[in-house]
Chain A
Amino acid sequence: MQTKRTVFQSRVLPYFLLAPQLIITLIFFVWPAAQAIWQSFLRQDPFGLKATFVWFANYTRLLDDPDYLNALGATFVFSVGVTVLSMGLSLMFAVAVNRVLRSGRFYTTLLVWPYAVAPAAAGLLWWFMFNPSVGIIPYLLSSFGYEWNHRLHTGDAMVLIIIAAAWKQISYNFLFFVAGLQSVPQSLSEAAAIDGAGPFKRFWTVVFPLLSPTTFFLAVINITYAMFDTFGIVDATTSGGPSQSTNILVYKVYADGFIGLNLGPSAAQSVILMLIVVVLTVVQFRWIERKVQY
């Protein structure tokens, strides 16, 4: 790993400098993670008095549990929905901003601020828009003959949290797509234009393939976001309901652990989530290494 060519000579100083970060990491990250792994192999008796070591029983039970499989499915639908919706819209806006000359900055300012809105607040904004009794969208939908009710219809609830989560993520994707588009050389588009390619053909055959590193990176980031940073959206709006249709994994860990107090299964869920994060992080870093070779 890289350092400077010449370094300072000191035996103790670097340890002092690293100490705060390392101590916090050990106490609040490594130790709890180790606890979760250990707990996931134990089963508590109903009174919490003694725990027996049960090997992978918690995991196998989890994978047989229809509720957990349901949560896996919901998480999948939710992550894919958020990623596709948010990235599709942002790409469209980024291409548009890249085309306008003077007003680009103005539009950018108006498009980026949802990044700062807390997930819980974003959830409540859309909860209000979709409120079956006073919301504006159910009002409009009812004139098309659709009775929106996310408190009763499982599909409606899922659509609601997907829209709220995607809305908040548009600004992030937008900024990265704009940066990506600006690094695509103008001369390639011009060459394609001379060969007679129209603007749409130029975009899909020249610009979009060159954007693929950005697209891939954003896909990973968006899946990570949808899986882990959307707790507030779910908690503030649907709380996992109706009938568990929006009970995504990160919400289920919390619900089982804190409300249900199921220590072993909850720890097993934590461990599975950690594994997912590890995989996503590794994928993300491989992308960075690939980019460096350009």
Chain B
Amino acid sequence: MVENRPFLNFLTHLVLILGVLMVVFPVYLAFIASTHGPTDFMSGIVPLLPGDQFSANYGYLLGTGESTAGAPPFLLMLGNSLAMAIMIAVGKIAISIISAFAIVYFRFPLRVPAFWLIFMTLMLPVEVRILPTYKVVADLGMLNSYSGLVIPVIASATATFLFRQFFLTVPEEMMEAARVDGAGPMKFFRDILLPLSRTNIAALFIIMFIYGWNQYLWPMLITTEPHYYTVVMGIKRLANVLDGDNQWNLVMAGVILAGLPPVLVIIFMQRLFVKGLVETEK
């Protein structure tokens, strides 16, 4: 701080408090709505204080679901989302870390083309090539399966870059020492590189977990059996049907359930999250 200006300090806090309100208010309102019964919206304006239907609404969604809206019980969808997010995060990290290891610690003829091929995936988000990708997955018989949900989105240029940048900063002496002691490449990878990469792996895991959890278009196309539905696509089906009869309490309860797990991850692992976010973009 260069000088002390009480008015500016006041303004600073005012801006931040307004900012926090702006960020928090929609979620607060959604939570309030989710604790009311459906008739509380009839008056034409949303209530601003919690109602008494919290356990009724959430219990109904988690246990029974809204089968008329094509939404199975939320417990099932939350489980599917969790499984998908973890498989995507672990898969991306696993295949990226070994590719980065190959690119940094070996010299072989196809090294540069391979690197560019991986780089290309960065340029082709699934939304822009959706129809042909869907066809490939359908031809391989991977519709309505966890492998169909996970494998097509598991390649990661971002993670490969991050690990490559990190490996380049690992001192040369580490590897020379390991070689002098007679360690082969895989032993060096397992006993030295993996432990050194621990924080990077954790930070990346958070980013990739959120990415996986929030997948929307892909699960929507790949799954037609309610058994495989994920929660983020589930709330949209819920909203489509319930919007007509103003069952906003259930829709908002669904939104809260779908959003809570990744938000909790960020709040409790904020330091790792910020590290992961800032470093993957470098």
Contact = CB atoms under 8 A, between A and B. Distances in A.
Given A2-B168, A8-B105, A118 B214 contact: yes
A5 interface: yes
Given A22-B114, A170-B23, A258 B102 contact: no
Contact of A274 (B108, B129, B131): B129
A254 B45 contact: no
Contacts of A186: 2
B248 A231 contact: no
Contact of B266 (A89, A112, A129): A112
A14 B106 contact: yes
Given A118-B213, A121-B232, A134-B41, A277 B125 contact: yes
Contacts of B22: 89, 167
B197 interface: no
Interface string A116-156: 11111100111111010111100100000000000000000
B22 to A, nearest CB: 8
Interface stretch (B7-15, B49-57, B60-68): B7-15
Interface stretch (A31-39, A48-56, A75-83): A31-39
B133 to A, nearest CB: 4
Given A5-B172, A96-B15, A199-B8, A228 B46 contact: no
Contact of A113 (B233, B267, B282): B267
A117 B95 contact: no
B128 A228 contact: yes
The size class of the interface chain B forms with chain A is 35 or more
B200 interface: no
B35 to A, nearest CB: 14
B202 to A, nearest CB: 16
B175 interface: yes
A20 B99 CA distance: 8
Contacts of B121: 25, 29
Contacts of A208: none
A11 B3 CA distance: 64
Interface string B117-142: 11011111101111111111100000
A120 B186 CA distance: 42
Contacts of A8: 105-106, 179, 184-185, 188
B216 A116 contact: no
A84 to B, nearest CB: 16
A115 B210 CA distance: 9
Interface string B94-123: 011011011111111011101101101111
Contact of B46 (A103, A136, A176): A136
Contacts of A172: 277
A266 B97 CA distance: 35
Contacts of B278: 175-176, 179
Say whether chain B's binding surface is mostly helix, strand, loop, or mixed: helix
Contacts of B172: 4-6
Contact of A128 (B30, B118, B184): B30
A127 B33 CA distance: 13
Nearest to B183: A8
Contacts of A107: 16, 19-20
Interface of B: 1-3, 5, 8-9, 12-13, 15-16, 19-20, 22-24, 26-27, 29-30, 33, 41, 44-46, 95-96, 98-99, 101-108, 110-112, 114-115, 117-118, 120-125, 127-137, 151-156, 160, 168, 172, 175-176, 179, 184-186, 188, 210, 213-214, 216-217, 221, 232-233, 235-236, 239, 246, 248, 251-252, 255, 258-259, 262-263, 265-267, 270, 273-274, 277-278, 281-282
Given A21-B156, A36-B129, A109-B270, 15 more contacts: A4-B104, A6-B175, A8-B184, A17-B99, A18-B98, A28-B133, A28-B151, A103-B13, A107-B16, A125-B26, A128-B248, A186-B2, A221-B281, A232-B217, A257-B130
13 contacts: A8-B106, A15-B110, A17-B98, A18-B99, A18-B102, A112-B270, A120-B216, A120-B233, A124-B251, A175-B278, A267-B131, A273-B127, A281-B123
Interface of A: 1-8, 10-11, 13-15, 17-18, 20-22, 24-33, 35-36, 39, 89, 92-93, 96-97, 99-101, 103, 107-121, 124-129, 131, 133-136, 139, 167, 170-172, 175-176, 179, 186, 189-190, 193, 199, 202, 217, 221, 228-229, 231-232, 235-236, 250, 253-254, 257-258, 263, 266-267, 270, 273-274, 277-278, 281, 288
